[in-house]
Structure 1
Amino acid sequence: MKLVIILLLCHMLYCVDVDKNTFSNYKDVKTQHLHIEWLLNLNDKVVDGSVEYTLKVFANQLSEVHLDIYKMNILFIYYPSNGQVLKYHVESDPIQKDEQGDKLVIELGQVYKYGEIVKFRIKYQIGEDARALSFMDPSQTDDKKAPYLFSQCEANNCRSMIPLQDTPSIKFTYSATVITQSPLINVFMSGNRLQTQKFELMGNYEMNSIANIFQFELNIKIPAYLIAIVAGTVEERSTGARTAVISESKNIQKYKDELEDLDQYVQYLEDYIGEYKWGSYKIVILPASFPFGGMENPLLTFANPTIIVGDKSGVSVAVHEIAHSWFGNTITCNNWSNMWINEGFCVFLERKGLKTLFKDINLVHVNSQVGNNEMNALIKEFNSSQDDFVKSYASLHPKTENHNADDSFSTIPYERGFQLLYYLEKQINETRFQQLLKAWLQEYEYKSADESDFYRFMILWLKVQLSAEEFTTVKKSIDNVYTKWVYDYGQPPIQETFENPASKDVLQLVNAWIEGKGTKPQNYQIFDGFKSNQKQLFLSSLTEKSKDITEAIMVSLEDAYHLSDLRDAELLFRWYALSINTKYAKDTTNLQKIKAFVGVVGRMKMVNPIYKALNKETATQWYQENYAFYHPLTRQSIESIIKSKTIIE
């Protein structure tokens, strides 16, 4: 009872049932369906858009609809039934305009009552200011044949692409018609593609210009951040009965070979959690400027080419994104202060799938150790800040009000969330916890939830499943840690090391290198036999002990393993960041390799640690040189890093 009261107080204090990162009046009116129409002019980097809204009223009386927008040109708004043009205005907060955008206030011209349906259309135009979109010139693509466009809407960036209720609390179906101005351009979206037609462009377009029209629909409700589009000289190759790979033609065979087991990965997760209900599963290998390792858009996962290593060691990213089909896409966090409801559960399911893939639970625990090391480093970093918002990023309930929700994204919701679930599984037992997760999915299927929803569901489920005596014991073990795990800024209340035989040799080798002070350990060559995640653990453990790493050790490590020339970007970025932090990367040769890396990899996980390690002058110079290559979200992140250096210096 005591914990329930605390949770209720926390619920009131943080308003976890309210999304503070939306300007929409989503409590009063809720989107049911969107129909999107886009004309893509990729040469001029402009999209002409039209959206028809179907909304349901949940207030007693409704006279206005408020939507989220970001740097968008609204042309006009009208009722499609009679052509009546609606009045609107934009409310801006100077502080929030660049962070979160503006409120679009639409006057409906009449009063709607509870339960009634509202339908209207908005005509608008967007361009390079849309931070969800990356417009690429042909020279920036692999095929060099045509322009390229891709989106990244998570967290609150869909409002730069479509005027809408940009909150994970609201789920809706959508359909889309996309017209291209080039016959070379192929289009995919996070929905089922219905048909494609060719037609001749008339009017002001070039004579005899043939373009394409693509139609899509998704009849499963999703939040706004899962709307996605990719347009370019991309093609699809099947990898199985229900899976496929999409990319530009230059590398598609290589990508298909690396991801040939996608069908099996889906099956691994189905065996643990239940039926995959989304139909097909396709993964798009995007250009290297994509800011994330992967993005779980339904039916159309986006992935960075850094996951293609050549030895399938990067496929855990694909397993993670498939896992989102259950946790994130089916059950969704109801605001970005509860991102762990997406990511913590997803990492937990991912590692259940990797247990089958690796056929060795110890190798799965190595992944957990790498995550634990990097989580602990971030907790220390966030807690060293003087900003209370930044400190809160160390918890599972970061403060996001009046901030861009992207700022709070880190490995914390992934690893801290995973560790909470790992702890709960040990208290409840593995088989019963699996049953609990299946019941949780069934109860909240296609809904949005927060940490108090999960707690209440878990306790009620356990009360039914357990004897009175066992329930009392298990509940006490949960109540002792749950709110601390979610809300505290410090380390998790239960420390888990995930030590295992697969990591023993790794950690012993790390210590041997440090104790040798530059002399190669006798068994130094065992590094070559390590799996990729063991090598990641080796480098993350060296980073943990960076104060003990001398230049002599770094020189000897390079000589032994040629770390600066590895193909695996997961290893390279860790080594490069360590090289800068230990002053090893101080000559032109070393720095040029690192500079080349951040000029061809735009994945924030990999470039941010390097920019953090650089001095302000070098970071600024490299960023300016690579500005055109980076996605808008990567730019935003690096600019924040450089700004923090200014404050510190």
Structure 2
Amino acid sequence: MRFAFSAVALLLTTTACTTVPMEGNIDTARTTPLVAPVLTSPDALDTSTYARPQVARVTHVDLDLALDFAGKSVGGTATLSVLAAPGARELVLDDKGLKVASVTDGQGKALPFTVGASDGEKGAPLTIQIGAGGESRTVRIAYSASDADALQWLSPEQTAGGKYPYLFSQGQAILNRTWIPTQDSPGIRQTWRARVTAPKPLTVVMSGLKVGETEDLGDRRAFTYEMDKPVAPYLIAVAAGDIAFRPLGPRTGVWTEPKMLDAAASELADTEAMVSAAEKLYGPYRWGRYDMIVLPPSFPYGGMENPTLTFLTPTFIAGDRSLTGLIAHELAHSWSGNLVTNAVWGDGWLNEGVTSYFENRIVEEIYGKKRAQQEASLDYTAIIETLDRVGSDAPGTALHQPDGTDSAGSAIVYNKGAAFMRTLEHAVGRERFDAWLRQWFDKHAFQPATSQMIYDDMLAHLVNGKVEANKLKLHEWIFDPGLPANVLRPDPAAFATVDAAAKAYADAGTIPAKATWDGWTSAERQRFLQSLPQQRSADQLAALDSALSLSASGNNEELFLWLNLALANRFDPAVEQADRFLSHVGRTKFVRPLFAALMEQGDWGQPIAKRIYAKTRAGYHSVTQASVDKVVLKD
């Protein structure tokens, strides 16, 4: 990620919807699912789940569900394949708000079950009495889920087309327990299959490969997808709406609303080349297809790396592919995060930090060294800003977060993790480093991992003994707070021109010429905006906007930086634009800071923030709502 149905006959008029090309489908013949190991070391104990996988663990989930857009609910059955220890009598699942109607075994015999007390975000344990028997068990759960935190149901007015409703899910980190009864832990990998029905003319897509043909059920259609490789359960994802498909290459393509298809396909034109570049670096792409879906703007993240179908925010569409590092990031997750997954969320850097490094390597291959260096430099600046804010000795600035410790933020999990990888690559040489990282992916493919495991693997396969390990500060990088002294600092030349321009503005108010501004990369423009003095008068802000057309930017990263600066300085002309932006965009990365900037402005900003949030909150995903509630509704 780049920063967690009862049938109803809806009478909808018909429209053409494209289906996934058949070459992307999988054989309908069932094969024995792979079973991934569950780690048993103390550092692999996931306290965000109620599951006891050493007693009984889910290996496969088979869903048969119907989407109810009128009731904003999903319902049907989940049939679980369970591997149990000898004598095991209980299976414990994660449940947050599910309405369980019945639980039976493989022969249809009722199984007693209880739902325990709820514990906030964690939800409640769903404990099923499976009885003593063989190691392999089948458990069938009939259930429904409404008001699920993972699911956002959009009205037609919230879509680009304006005619049909829309649904998408966001499962990371522990939200899939709100619509799927399973063991919702990244360390308990599962294969899955799902048959999902939706009213015509809506199309359902999921994070697996399509099985067979779409079923015509009269006023509804059924779509079946399968993931035959064990994945972390947060990677089971669904979307449904009036969407169309366009191929981008032999194994890549994009889904989105028809009105957005041309712009999305143009922005994503480099995707097939990115897949080839990634394979050249770290081995074959193992998931069959790499498709993407550009969702409505309420999607709370930049992207979500759901296997075979990356979910994307439309805010990355800038018209010039200047923000496609997001695509490189989500693609890289096909190795780091999806192929090898953190067993516990305290080791999230194994997903995000390694991916951020990999992303930068793909960017270098596709767009050149200059852009890669500039984007890495922006990431380094974010690390320094975070350490300055929280303190270099804050426990949350370590990569590995012991249970009960909260990370200091994305600049640590993503950027410090990438800086660690980049430092190692520079120290040992790219050829040696790449060989090591590729064998890490190969050796742990489709398995969970921990910080201790990658540290041990570095000792065994990357460095030449303890002396070199100590010189490289491997243990300090992973387990200690702050930034080790051997960090590879960005090349000052990467932003030499823009830094000189920023200094000229700070010293004498000299604004770059519009032609110069337009000739800069997006990273350079972002660097300039981030380097501006934080206190500006209305006249100074107006002059900047007039000279550089900041408020008219089609690049949402740059527009966000401008709005953040303007609102922090009570710039009245920016209020209307901020209102439009916050009413249209639901990406938490943008939304929360802008509301925070308003709330920090007391009597000027707080009424504006509360007015805008009162009308926009209902259109945000639960992830964004939870984040912004803490800012705007904290009193």
Q: Report the TM-score, using the length of structure 1 for normalisation.
A: 0.87
Task: Give the CA deviation at 1:408.
Answer: 7.0
Distance 1:398 1:550, change over 3 A: farther
Matches within 5 A, 1:462-477: 462=462, 466=464, 471=465, 473-477=467-471
Provide the rounded CA distance (Å) in 1 between the counterparts of 2:408 and 2:225. Answer: 33
Distance 1:187 1:634, change over 3 A: same
Match of 1:621 in 2: 611
Does residue 175 (structure 1) correspond to residue 193 (structure 2)? The answer is yes
Which 4+ stretches in 1 moved above 6 angstroms? none
Check conservation: 2:299, 2:621, Cα contact below 8 A. Answer: yes
Counterpart among 124, 132, 147 of residue 111 in structure 1: 132
Provide the rounded CA distance (Å) in 2 between the counterparts of 1:512 and 1:49. Answer: 64
Counterpart among 41, 47, 56 of residue 20 in structure 1: 47
Match of 1:5 in 2: none
- Please state whether the residue corresponding to 1:176 is helix, strand or coil: strand
Distance 1:462 1:260, change over 3 A: closer
Matches within 5 A, 1:442-591: 442-462=442-462, 466=464, 471=465, 473-478=467-472, 481-516=473-508, 518-520=509-511, 525-542=515-532, 545-546=533-534, 549=536, 551-581=538-568, 583-585=569-571, 587=572, 589-591=573-575
Match of 2:35 in 1: none
Check conservation: 1:72, 1:124, Cα contact below 8 A. Answer: yes
RMSD: 2.3
Provide the rounded CA distance (Å) in 1 between the counterparts of 2:56 and 2:227. Answer: 21
Distance 1:476 1:378, change over 3 A: closer
Check conservation: 2:291, 2:310, Cα contact below 8 A. Answer: yes
Matched to 2:87, the amino acid is Q
Task: Give the CA deviation at 1:100.
Answer: 1.8
Match of 1:284 in 2: 293
Provide the rounded CA distance (Å) in 2 between the counterparts of 1:18 and 1:155. Answer: 16
Task: Give the CA deviation at 1:472.
Answer: 5.0
Task: Give the CA deviation at 1:570.
Answer: 0.7
Match of 2:590 in 1: 606
- Please state whether the residue corresponding to 1:61 is helix, strand or coil: coil
Task: Give the CA deviation at 1:537.
Answer: 1.6
Does residue 367 (structure 1) correspond to residue 375 (structure 2)? The answer is yes
Matched to 1:369, the amino acid is S
Match of 1:141 in 2: 159
Task: Give the CA deviation at 1:493.
Answer: 4.2
Provide the rounded CA distance (Å) in 1 between the counterparts of 2:332 and 2:57. Answer: 27
Matches within 5 A, 1:253-402: 253-359=262-368, 361-383=369-391, 392-398=395-401, 401=404
Task: Give the CA deviation at 1:169.
Answer: 0.4
Does residue 84 (structure 1) correspond to residue 75 (structure 2)? The answer is no
Does residue 30 (structure 1) correspond to residue 57 (structure 2)? The answer is yes
Q: Percent identical across equivalent pairs?
A: 29
Distance 1:420 1:499, change over 3 A: same
Provide the rounded CA distance (Å) in 1 between the counterparts of 2:537 and 2:506. Answer: 8
Provide the rounded CA distance (Å) in 2 between the counterparts of 1:571 and 1:277. Answer: 35
Match of 1:4 in 2: none
How many equivalent pairs are there? 591
Match of 1:429 in 2: 429
Q: In the TM superposition, what whole-angstrom CA distance separates every residue of 1:574-608 from its partner, at most 9, and x where no partner exists? A: 11112222x142x2x21111121111111111112
Provide the rounded CA distance (Å) in 1 between the counterparts of 2:320 and 2:421. Answer: 30
Q: In the TM superposition, what whole-angstrom CA distance separates every residue of 1:592-643 from its partner, at most 9, and x where no partner exists? A: 1112111111111111211221114433332221012111111011112335
Does residue 65 (structure 1) correspond to residue 91 (structure 2)? The answer is yes
Match of 1:3 in 2: none
Check conservation: 1:373, 1:540, Cα contact below 8 A. Answer: no
Counterpart among 237, 243, 259 of residue 234 in structure 1: 243
Distance 1:619 1:571, change over 3 A: same
Check conservation: 1:400, 1:408, Cα contact below 8 A. Answer: no
Task: Single out whichever of 303-312 and 365-374 deviates more from structure 2.
Answer: 365-374
Provide the rounded CA distance (Å) in 2 between the counterparts of 1:524 and 1:311. Answer: 17
Matched to 1:339, the amino acid is G
Distance 1:40 1:380, change over 3 A: same
Task: Give the CA deviation at 1:502.
Answer: 3.4
Provide the rounded CA distance (Å) in 2 between the counterparts of 1:613 and 1:430. Answer: 42
Provide the rounded CA distance (Å) in 2 between the counterparts of 1:150 and 1:227. Answer: 11
Provide the rounded CA distance (Å) in 1 between the counterparts of 2:55 and 2:471. Answer: 40
Match of 1:6 in 2: none
Distance 1:354 1:569, change over 3 A: same
Check conservation: 1:427, 1:474, Cα contact below 8 A. Answer: no
Q: Report the TM-score, using the length of structure 2 for normalisation.
A: 0.89
Provide the rounded CA distance (Å) in 2 between the counterparts of 1:591 and 1:251. Answer: 27
Match of 1:162 in 2: 180
